Amino acid sequence: MSSVVIPYRVKPHPLTGVTSGKLGIWLFLASEVMLFGALFSSYVLLRVGSLPEHWPSGVEAGLSVPIGTFNTLVLIASSVTMVMSWASLKMGNLGAFKRYFGGTIGLGLVFLVVKGFEYGAKFSHGIFPAVGWPEVSDPSTFNALYFTLTGLHGVHVLLGILVNLWLLLFGVAIWKTEPEWFTGRIEIAGLYWHFVDLVWIFLFPTLYLL
Amino acid sequence: MSEAHAEPGFWRKYVFATDHKTIGIQYGLTALTFLFFGFSLMMLMRWQLAYPGEAIPILGGLLRDSWVDQGAMLPDFYNQLGAMHGTIMVFMGIVPLAVGAFGNYVVPLQIGAPDMAFPRLNMMSYQAFFIGGLVMLSSFFLPGGAASSGWTSYAPLAVIATTGQTFWLVGMVFLIASSLLGAINFIVTIIHLRAEGMSFFRLPFFVWSQLVTAFLLLLAFPALNAAAVLQLMDRLAGTSFFLPSGLVVGGEQAAAAGGGSPLLWQHLFWFLAHPEVYVLILPGMGIVAEVIANNTRKPLWGYRTMVYSLLFLGFLSFGVWAHHMYLTGMGTTMSTFFQTTTMIISIPSVIILTCLLISLWGASIRFPVPMLFALAFLPMFGIGGLTGLPLGLALPDLHLHDTYYVIGHFHYIVAPGTIFAMFAGIYHWFPKITGRSMNATLGRIHFWPSLLFMNGIFMPMMFEGMAGVSRRLFDPTTYAHGEAVHGLTMLSSWSAWGLALAQIPFIINFFWSMRKKEKAEENPWQATTLEWATATPPPHGNFAEPPVVYCGPYEYSVPGAERDFCPQYVKQGV
Amino acid sequence: MALSESDAEHVREHVRVYVTVFVALAVLTLVTVGVSYLHLATTYAITVALVVATVKASLVAGYFMHLISEKKVIRWLLVLCAAFFAALMLLPVGTQTGSGPLWPL
């Protein structure tokens, strides 16, 4: 069944300049832009539809800007280590790749752990997706958006970490026989990871700062 | 290209297949089954509409107590049937058949590729579809029954509905995942895996239609995915994305946080659902174009114009969705915007239809069964499209919104439109897939009554709608205007049952022809496109050697040529 | 496997760019947080935050995701996506009457 050879798996196609896998991941990311776009659009509609005095700022809703800033820098750093790990492969340095790639996974885990603490702090104060911010009459919309948006983003981070872990532990075996193919896979994983960072770059100011 | 390997076992070959042809057949058989099931739900509904309050014959005694009262349908069951009929037909029937089945099977062959770009992703797409379908169907067995808030699942009703709605949302997430992965596969395949010489403007129109459809699925479906997540949060986590403050249910204040917007659901839903309706029609147009070119023995008139129209239509389809929401209180500026874009988007559809009509002019038309369905598509889609115009303008829509006129409009497009195109595709490509021809006499016995009954079902609805009969009514005769047109309702119902009977020759033909000993010729329709260049059924890897393309897809009746068709893959001396 | 010397040098150039971009991103993050402490009027606050975020996103997309050197097809795909994204962001809120900055429309 796997005897059929599909072209442009490793060599880029002349028209697009990329391999099929890379074109595929860009298409997937375009759909993810629309997914998070729909969620941001929901945020806009709900916020515009509410009275300004009823909409808390991030700080008023109990979010910690220092922690959010820290997490933002963590994710940006993980993007740097991600692209460095790809560059290491391009230079043929498997050891450097493993260090940088491990760093990406580690930083991603740091992000999730910090997020976990944030959620835990909110839960212990009785703040849940459905529970309001006291004193106002339509209180819960901000929290609903916060938990849903960061939750879905967090799921994307987790999935990225899992895929990266698999690549680091098992996928790397193919470096010996098909280095170009493996480098391409890391590049594709990198594109996904950068996108996750990109979403957070918009999420952070939207939820924490505005 | 293909190497000799040990034959894969049963599971690897038929269940966990990665070959696009096997996956196409899997999609086809599953989708046809779901289509038949969705149609059966409708036939039950038509009994209640024609004979309100009367016990359903035979089945009445077999259905659950929560569904029927001494054999007569209960209102909640009617709503379940309505919601699931729409959902199943759109998401589990037409799209998997048009895109998953026909697209998967035919596109790699027509572009000269060995398979899709991502065969394992293709397999996962089918599995996600299958799981989503099972989740949807299993909801009928829940204590509260299946989803019953319309295929549109509007908030706040859907948010407070029974568990069936949660199953609907989860099922949709699987179905959406299937379509998204499939869309990625189609786009990369069509861009990257075309054979040598297959430039974009030598692609068969069918492939173009699948390419645009894939983009619509890719970029529009995520909005419904997001909306489904939000509605699941509302239902399961107590949030109020869609529940407004002060919501009163059954005379009591709802225990909801409030602060949400029911309109938000509508925006997100229709952002998908409008491009979705183009997903429903474009592959059908593609199939009709192939069959018409083949049976007129002429190139398609205005092929390039049709392609540009497709691209324009696809782009515009993202900017018209609020024409489903004219009555929600938007201001005149936005209403004017959406009316304008909606009127403009009718133009490319008309262009495509006109080009197909002009293609018939001066042709030596043959009338095998696929051509009958393809020809019928033209006026039927014409009626469907034209009846959309008053709906696209806010003023007449005031009167027609949510009436039977809308149901008539869109069913004319999907039923004698798309489904006829699907039938044309089945009769046309059956010899390629199975190596046998379907029986032509049975095909005609299938066609003529189907055409008659399709009109018998949906034309009365236009008049019912103009008379003011609302859609989704359990018993229209409760109202005087509904009572007045009850004769039309009965006509629709009897036509629906007649349509069901008319499918019997097709079902017999379909299964019986597969087992015939007599094989069809290699290229029984003397067609020019690449899928006919390979063996029947095509082997794993499709082509013994990568094909080379020398000319356009519809080189029929070329002056000076030996035969009345020049296949794309044959170099012509002239 | 390993690239030729010129290719390796090429990648080392890129590494310098990555580090520069990282510094820029970190600085911009601190800028956007700093601006938030100024408590500007809502419209200005949103505009500044969005502009800064867009610049940061462009840096990530352009340099980490190599968009700046990709062929036109990839960029046109994203332009198409951006157009639909804009429609999804702007049109629903435009239909809200009686509230928000875009009323009356």
CA distances from A165 to A3, A97, C50 (A): 28, 13, 33
Q: Are B327 and B398 in contact (CB under 8 A)?
A: yes
**B541 φ/ψ sector (left φ>0, alpha ψ -120 to 50, else beta):** left
Is position A71 within any domain?
Answer: yes
Say which amino acid occupies A180: E
A37:C88 CB<8 A? yes
Using CB atoms and an 8 Å cut-off, which of residues 115-174 of chain A contact chain B?
128-132, 137-141, 144-145, 147-148, 152
A30:C8 CB<8 A? no
- Which of C79, C88, C102 is the mutation pick for testing B, counting most B CBs within 10 A? C88
Q: Tell me: the pLDDT tens digits for B185-213?
A: 999 999 999 999 999 999 999 999 999 99
Q: Are B137 and B186 in contact (CB under 8 A)?
A: no
Query: Can you give the pLDDT at residue C3?
Result: 46
- Name every chain B residue with its beta carbon within 8 A of the beta carbon of A15: 191-192
The pair of structure tokens assigned to B415 is 């039923």
The half-sphere exposure of B264 on its side-chain side, counting CA atoms within 13 A, is 29
CA distances from C16 to A81, C20, C56 (A): 13, 6, 18
The half-sphere exposure of A43 on its side-chain side, counting CA atoms within 13 A, is 21
CA distance C105 to C87: 16
Q: What is the mean pLDDT of residues B511-534?
A: 92
- Name every chain B residue with its beta carbon within 8 A of the beta carbon of A28: 180, 184
Q: Tell me: the pLDDT tens digits for B51-68?
A: 999 999 988 888 888 899
Q: Hunting for tokens 């309505």 — which residue is that?
A: B82
Number of domains forming the structure of chain A: 1
Q: What is the 3-state secondary structure (H, E, C) of chain C?
A: CCCCHHHHHHHHHHHHHHHHHHHHHHHHHHHHHHHHCCCCCHHHHHHHHHHHHHHHHHHHHHHHCCHHHCCHHHHHHHHHHHHHHHHHHHHHHHCCCCCCCCCCC
Assign 3-state DSSP to chain A and report helix, strand, coil percentages, each to 5. Answer: 75, 0, 25
The half-sphere exposure of B557 on its side-chain side, counting CA atoms within 13 A, is 12
- pLDDT of residue C105 exceeding 50, the answer is no
Using CB atoms and an 8 Å cut-off, which of residues 47-66 of chain A contact chain B?
49-50, 54
Structure confidence at residue B146 as a pLDDT band (50, 70, 90): very high
Say which amino acid occupies C97: T
A148:B229 CB<8 A? yes
* A-chain residue closest to B11, CA distance: A1
CA distances from B518 to B354, B438, B450, B521, C50 (A): 39, 11, 28, 10, 68
**What is the radius of gyration, based on Cα positions, of chain A?**
20
pLDDT, averaged across chain B = 94
* A-chain residue closest to C41, CA distance: A210
Query: Can you give the pLDDT at residue C97?
Result: 65
Question: Phi and psi at residue C12, in whole multiples of 5°?
Answer: -60, -35
CATH superfamily of B22-243+258-533: Cytochrome c oxidase-like, subunit I domain (1.20.210.10)
Q: Are B101 and B31 in contact (CB under 8 A)?
A: yes
Q: Are B55 and B47 in contact (CB under 8 A)?
A: no
- Give me the torsion for CA of B207, B209, B210, B212, rounded to 10°: 120
Work out how many CB contacts closer than 8 A connect B with C: 42
Is position A5 within any domain?
Answer: no
- Name every chain C residue with its beta carbon within 8 A of the beta carbon of B336: none
Q: Tell me: the pLDDT tens digits for B419-454?
A: 999 999 999 999 999 999 999 999 999 999 999 999
Q: What is the CATH number for A49?
A: 1.20.120.80
Is position A2 within any domain?
Answer: no
Strands (E), B399-448: none
Q: What is the mean pLDDT of residues B132-136?
A: 98
CA distance B123 to B117: 12
Rounded to a whole number of angstroms, the distance from the CA of A67 to the nearest CA of chain B is 25
ipTM above 0.90, yes or no: yes
Across the strands, what pairs with B249? B252
Query: Can you give the pLDDT at residue B574?
Result: 46
Select from B305, B115, B298 the least CA-distant residue to B208: B305
Q: Which of A27, A140, A152 sits opposite B259 (nearest CB)?
A: A140
- pLDDT of residue A134 exceeding 80, the answer is no
What is the value of pTM for the model shown? 0.95
Q: Which structural domain, as residue segments, surrounds residue A55?
A: 20-209
Q: Tell me: the pLDDT tens digits for C19-74?
A: 999 999 999 999 999 999 988 888 888 899 999 999 999 999 999 999 988 888 88
Query: Can you give the pLDDT at residue C43?
Result: 84
Specify the range with the lowest mean pLDDT, choosing from A172-176, B24-28, B90-94, B397-401. Answer: A172-176
CA distance B143 to B535: 51
CA distance B334 to B126: 40
Q: Are B173 and B225 in contact (CB under 8 A)?
A: yes
CA distance B323 to B336: 10
CA distance B243 to B264: 10
- pLDDT of residue C103 exceeding 70, the answer is no
- Name every chain A residue with its beta carbon within 8 A of the beta carbon of C89: 37, 40-41, 44
Is position A53 within any domain?
Answer: yes
The angle that helices B420-434 and B504-514 make with each other, rounded to 10 degrees, is: 10
CA distances from A156 to A29, A144, B222, B234, B384 (A): 12, 18, 14, 21, 42
Q: Are C63 and C25 in contact (CB under 8 A)?
A: no
Structure confidence at residue A138 as a pLDDT band (50, 70, 90): very low
Select from A50, C80, A29, A44 the least CA-distant residue to B267: A44
∠ CA A176-A180-A181, nearest 5°, is 90
Structure confidence at residue A136 as a pLDDT band (50, 70, 90): very low
CA distances from A60 to A65, A142, A200, B135, C48 (A): 11, 11, 20, 42, 20
